[in-house]
Amino acid sequence: MDNLFILINVVVLLALIGLLIYMQKKHVSFAKRVFTGMGIGIVLGAILQGIYGEGSSILNGTLDWYSIVGSGYVRFLMVIVVPLVMISIIRAIINLDKSKELGKMAGWIIGILISTTLIAALVGIGSALVFDLSAEQIEAGQAETDRGLSIEQSFSEMEGQTTPQRILNFIPSNIFLDMTGERPTSVIAVVIFSVIIGIATLGVQRKQPEHAAIFTKGINAIFSIIMRIVTLVLRLTPFGVLALMTNMVASTNYEGIIQLGKFVIASYAALLVMFVIHLVLVGVFGLNPMTYLKKVIPVLVFAFTSRSSAGTIPLNISAQKNALGVDDGAANISASFGATMGQNGCAGIYPAMLAVMIAPTVGIDPLSLDFIIQLVLITAISSFGVAGVGGGATFAAIIVLSSMGLPVGLAGLLISIEALIDMGRTALNVNGSMVSGTLTSKVMRNLNHEKYQDKKSVVENAGI
């Protein structure tokens, strides 16, 4: 009987996918299809949990099948990250008028990412203080205890690694290993290797232009094929969002959310404030923030549902280039760097809030100026090398809490609302990377203002 209900649920998903395909044939915009997928996913997920109950065998079996669409889509995105980043960056460097522009571009991108993370830490501290959050207010059940033990085990494995050593991990020693995404800093390693190839090509152009021409022609051909693959995969975004959101809502522990509602509200208040700060920065640099927001919403929706900054890289790059008018170099480097450093949500707001919540449990005054300054600086520095996948926020929290001398195990107290908060954190991370690319392109004077202002220049210009 269980299999029959699971089959019915799968048929329902297929019918809804059919609806999204019909919308596509009717030329409904990409953004509207993504929002439709998200909305339907929320309703379907709530209905499934309401009918079968959280954790039931029918619900679990249904979500296993749904994950073929949701998790399968994320895997397709992940598999094109390395070739997309590598070829795009090489091509962008080859097309640079002056090689010294590369250093300036990277400097602006990294500077914006780290600076906004520092601001995000202050926002996180402020939110925790305004809402009077404390780890002492949370009762630790079995799940929280187990999560705490897991975090402490992870800390024991990381203990002793200094910030310079973590930065050293950016440098590739085996590029083929990093192409598999084996390490948290693999994307950055691929970026560095690609930059080296690009710079080497510029040198060959001066001494052996005929060889450089052959290589450049090959890179351009591969780039065309990869971008076509990206287009094919991004067409699946509404379907992936539908399945991901359904699974998320259907498996959510609503009882835990109700018990920790104060922490959820405080977290999203901080995330919202940081989003507004991003828009203010866009305005300060002379760009219309509302135009920016309208064009990046489809990317943020996917980041929200997938909870993967790294998986959002292809859509992130596409939106920057096709909707915002950002040049190739800034779009690729900001999307890649933003997935592993300067993550405003996971590496800025979250660990700062946790530190303020946990400090009173060991007799530290979170209002102390010394504590706040130390926390902000450590949070900004520690944001280097945070993985852009699920678990990145925990990694960042371990680094910050241990550096502050706070018990890392208490970070497990929020496990019941971790997934819900992580959705907003990931969206903020991705928005931060897009802001850094847009502002850098503006500073470098290679932002296509006509494309930025053009309402028809949207993500689907890639052929989606």
User: Tokens standing for 339?
Assistant: 């997935």
Q: Name the percent of the chain lying above pLDDT 70.
A: 85
Higher pLDDT, 303 or 102: 303
Tens-place pLDDT, residues 126-171: 999 998 887 766 655 555 455 555 555 555 555 555 667 767 777 8
Task: Tell me which of 384 and 270 has the higher pLDDT.
Answer: 270
Rounded Cα distance between 73 and 34, Å, is 14
Superfamily of domain 2-462: Sodium:dicarboxylate symporter (1.10.3860.10)
109, 132, 449, 110: which is closest to 291 by C-alpha?
Answer: 449
* Averaged confidence pLDDT in the chain: 83
**What are phi and psi for residue 140, nearest 5 degrees?**
-90, 110
Phi, psi torsion values for 376, nearest 5 degrees: -65, -45
Can you tell me the mean pLDDT for 293-316? 87
Express the helix, strand and coil content of the chain in percent, nearest 5 each: 80, 0, 20
| Residue carrying the six token digits 């943020």 | 300
Check whether 396 has a pLDDT greater than 70: yes
The residue count for the chain = 464
The yes-or-no verdict on residue 32 having pLDDT over 70 is yes
pLDDT tens digits, residue range 332-345?
A: 889 888 877 888 98
Round to whole Å and give the CA distance between 278 and 171: 30
pLDDT at 431 over 60: yes
Non-local (6+) Cβ contacts of 392 within 8 A are: 184, 309, 343, 346, 347, 386
What is the arithmetic mean of pLDDT over 238-267? 82
pLDDT, average across residues 417-429 = 86
Phi, psi of 173 (to 5 degrees): -110, -20
pLDDT band at 463 (very low <50, low <70, confident <90, very high): very low
Confidence (pLDDT) at 345: 87
Instruction: Round to whole Å and give the CA distance between 375 and 355.
Output: 8
Residue 214, pLDDT score = 92
Using CA atoms, how far residue 2 sits from 6, 167, 270, 464, in Å, is: 6, 51, 43, 38
Q: Which two tokens stand for residue 363?
A: 């007799």
CA distance linking residue 431 with residue 436, whole number of Å: 9
Task: Please compute Rg for the chain using Cα positions.
Answer: 22
Q: Provide mean pLDDT across the span 232-236.
A: 85
Residue 239 pLDDT > 70: yes
- SS3 assignment, position 152: helix
**Nearest to 318, CA basis, from 19, 81, 131:** 81
* Phi, psi for residue 363 in degrees, rounded to 5: 80, 20
What's the pLDDT score for residue 11? 94
pLDDT digits (tens, 9 = 90+) for 52-91: 887 788 988 999 999 999 889 888 888 888 888 888 888 8
Residue 348's contacts (CB-CB under 8 Å, 6 or more residues apart) are 116, 117, 118, 119, 120, 121, 123, 124, 274, 342, 379, 380, 383
Amino acid at 308: S
The phi and psi torsions of 336 (rounded to 5 degrees) equal: -75, -50
41 touches 73 (CB < 8 A): no
Residue 423, pLDDT score: 86
Q: What is the pLDDT of residues 190-199, one digit of tens each?
A: 888 988 998 8
Cα within 13 Å of Cα(322), Cβ side: 20
**Full-model pTM:** 0.81
Query: Does the pLDDT of residue 388 top 70, yes or no?
Result: no
Residue 196 corresponds to which tokens in the numbers above?
């080296």
pLDDT of residue 311: 80
Structure tokens, 207:
């001494």
Q: At what angle are helices 57-94 and 209-234 packed, to 10 degrees? A: 160
Domain boundaries, the chain: 2-462
> Of 81, 164, 34, whose CA–CA distance to 339 is shortest?
81
- The pLDDT score that the predictor gives to residue 168 is 78
Total Cβ atoms within 10 A of residue 314: 29
Alpha-carbon distance values, 125 to 338, 377, 396, 422, 428 (Å): 22, 13, 15, 18, 17
Say which residues have a Cβ less than 8 Å from residue 332's Cβ, sequence separation at least 6.
84, 85, 88, 89, 92, 317
Q: Is the pLDDT of residue 389 over 50?
A: no
**Among 85-89, 169-173, 254-258, 269-273, the least confident range:** 254-258
